[in-house]
């Protein structure tokens, strides 16, 4: 018994030492001990909150890498244990217990632990609390180059660490890495163990497989739009991201355009009255880089997403026409979509890869006036019958705003501008538009969802 008292005394001392130092770490909550009781710390359980830069599971992996013993003693709440499940207890009746099961872990305080060992635990957790986010970019073609450029700027500002870029064209990876003073990799899998988050700027057909590898490794992911080749693949990504508790953001970059943000405010403030129609036009020259992707999924999806977000309404029905015109196109390079929304607004989206110049515009007609937005110039002109006015807009780079939002969401200091559910819905409407064009028929979106077994989206 004398030996037990000595061991308990040492456990208490070790626990008090950890509490003293970890209580100062933002995002880590040491155990609370009622002063009226004596706790011998059979377990020393900490809670990892949203203010810590890593999730509980990511912290566990980092501690494991550093050789620190740890345990998750309560991974499943009592009411979700097999016995209670068999007794028919609802699985969501104890939300606080469910949340705690995702956040708590036990640190070692055993009697044989030395002061050096305790200092090691504290220093590792403090280092992780203050570490910069490690990011990488997969494929450095046109968009990937710009992702790398912006990430390099953010690294220079001390917001992230640009670990490297990966491209199967290794010479291109080396060239881009040299420009932005980072490392080059031929195989993106080499980034899996090096980064916390990754930008994926690969061809659409590769999005699902590459993103799944990063998500399964516990990494946060930003995927260039569209999220995947089809809704089925996108649903798989959304489900896995939720299971792994990682951030999944899709690069609908126009949402970050200051002119779009301004237009949303104009509509919200009622300056245009009740919205009647929205017309979008996004045209430009042929681009062989995306010749294998339908213009509806490549370009029209931008405006589909913007209109969805501006109206805050779901699409009831749509009709689309698209066809291949350019001799080098492998998919449709012209598209025209008409959409009817639940709030009785009609919208038209026209897009092509045929014109010799770029035009990206959006026109919103309301009962009090009309607003015309120029995406490229980041300008809005409003006409209310008596006056034509130009909105005051501070121009900014949408891609930089997108990547900053991605970082802030990971750090849990901001909400995503584009949720994965919104990106999924934009892809659903684009997919339904392709179906409409191919079958030359009006598509009722609700019926399409049921037909494709996408009921989870209803």
CATH number at residue 115: 3.90.1150.10
pTM of the model: 0.79
Q: How far is CA 366 from the centre of its chain?
A: 33
Per-residue pLDDT reduced to its tens digit, 384-408: 877 899 999 999 999 999 999 999 8
Distance of CA 159 to the CA centre of its chain: 18
Q: Which of 21-35, 120-134, 175-189 has the highest mean pLDDT?
A: 175-189
* CB-CB contact of 11 with 112 (8 Å): no
Indicate whether 7 and 124 sit together in one domain: yes
Q: What would the mean pLDDT of 145-153 be, rounded to a whole number?
A: 97
* pLDDT for the residue 1: 63
For 229-259, the pLDDT digits (tens) are 999 999 999 999 999 889 999 999 999 999 9
Answer whether residue 389 is part of any domain: yes
Residue 291 neighbours by CB distance under 10 Å: 16
Please say which residue of 89, 105, 130 terminates a domain: 130
Of residues 159 and 285, more confidently modeled: 285
pLDDT computed for residue 172 by the predictor: 97
CATH number of the domain that residue 176 is part of: 3.40.50.720
Whether 245 is in a domain gets the answer: yes
Q: C-alpha angle 151/424/205, rounded to 5°?
A: 70
Determine how many CB atoms are found less than 10 A away from the CB of residue 178: 10
159 and 213, same domain (yes or no): yes
Calculate Rg over the CA atoms of the chain.
Answer: 26
In a shared domain, residues 108 and 123: yes
Question: Is 273 within a domain?
Answer: yes
Cα separation, 406 vs 200, whole angstroms: 13
> What is the domain range of residue 66?
2-130
> Are 47 and 185 in a shared domain?
no
pLDDT in the model for residue 310: 98
Tens-place pLDDT, residues 322-378: 999 999 898 999 999 999 999 999 999 999 999 999 999 999 999 999 999 999 999
Position with higher pLDDT, 64 vs 318: 318
SS3 string of 390-438? Answer: ECCCCCCCHHHHHHHHHHHHHCCCCCCCCCHHHHHHHHHHHHHHHHHHH
Last residue of some domain: 112, 130, 148? Answer: 130
Please check the confidence at residue 152 and state whether its pLDDT lies above 90: yes
- Residue 214's pLDDT is 97
Would residue 361 count as lying in a domain?
yes
* Last-in-domain residue among 252, 280, 314: 252
Condensed to tens digits (0 to 9), the pLDDT of residues 253-264 reads 999 999 999 999
Alpha helices (H) along 245-354? 258-268, 295, 301-311
């Amino acid at each position: 018994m004398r030996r037990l008292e000595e061991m308990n005394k040492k456990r208490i001392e070790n626990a008090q030492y950890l509490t003293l130092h970890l209580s100062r770490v933002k995002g880590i909550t040491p155990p609370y001990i009622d002063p009226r009781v004596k706790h011998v710390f059979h377990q020393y359980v900490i809670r990892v909150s949203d203010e810590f830069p890593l999730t509980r599971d990511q912290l566990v992996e980092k501690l494991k890498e550093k050789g620190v013993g740890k345990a998750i003693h309560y991974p499943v709440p009592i009411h979700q244990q097999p016995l209670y499940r068999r007794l028919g207890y609802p699985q969501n009746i104890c939300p606080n217990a469910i949340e705690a099961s995702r956040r708590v872990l036990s640190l070692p305080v055993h009697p044989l632990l030395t002061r050096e060992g305790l200092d090691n635990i504290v220093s590792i957790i403090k280092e992780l609390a203050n570490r910069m986010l490690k990011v990488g970019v997969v494929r450095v073609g046109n968009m990937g180059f710009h992702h790398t450029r912006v990430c390099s700027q953010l690294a220079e500002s001390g917001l992230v660490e640009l670990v490297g870029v990966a491209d199967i064209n290794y010479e291109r990876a080396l060239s881009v890495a040299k420009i932005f003073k980072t490392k080059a990799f031929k195989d993106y899998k080499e980034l899996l163990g090096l980064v916390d988050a990754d930008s994926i700027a690969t061809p659409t057909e590769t999005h699902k497989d590459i993103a799944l590898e990063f998500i399964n490794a516990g990494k946060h992911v930003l995927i260039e739009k569209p999220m995947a080749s089809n809704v089925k693949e996108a649903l798989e990504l959304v489900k896995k991201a939720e299971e792994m508790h990682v951030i999944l953001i899709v690069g609908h970059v126009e949402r970050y355009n200051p002119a779009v943000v301004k237009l949303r405010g104009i509509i919200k403030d009622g300056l245009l009255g009740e919205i009647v129609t929205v017309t979008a036009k996004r045209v430009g020259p042929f681009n062989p880089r995306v010749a294998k992707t339908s213009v509806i999924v490549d370009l029209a999806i931008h405006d589909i997403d913007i209109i969805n977000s501006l109206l805050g309404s779901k699409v009831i029905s749509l009709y689309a026409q698209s066809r291949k015109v350019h001799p080098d196109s492998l998919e449709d390079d012209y598209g025209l979509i008409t959409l009817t929304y639940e709030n009785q607004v009609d919208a038209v989206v026209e897009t092509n890869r045929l014109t010799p110049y770029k035009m990206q515009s959006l026109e919103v007609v309301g009962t009090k006036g009309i607003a015309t937005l120029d995406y490229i110039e980041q300008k809005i002109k409003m006409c209310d019958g008596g006056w034509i006015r130009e909105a005051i807009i501070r121009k900014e780079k949408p891609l930089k705003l997108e990547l900053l939002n991605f970082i802030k969401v990971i750090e849990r200091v901001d909400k995503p501008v584009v949720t994965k559910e919104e990106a999924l819905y934009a892809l659903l409407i684009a997919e339904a538009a392709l179906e409409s064009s191919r079958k030359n028929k009006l598509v009722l979106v609700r019926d399409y969802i049921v037909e494709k077994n996408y009921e989870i989206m209803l």
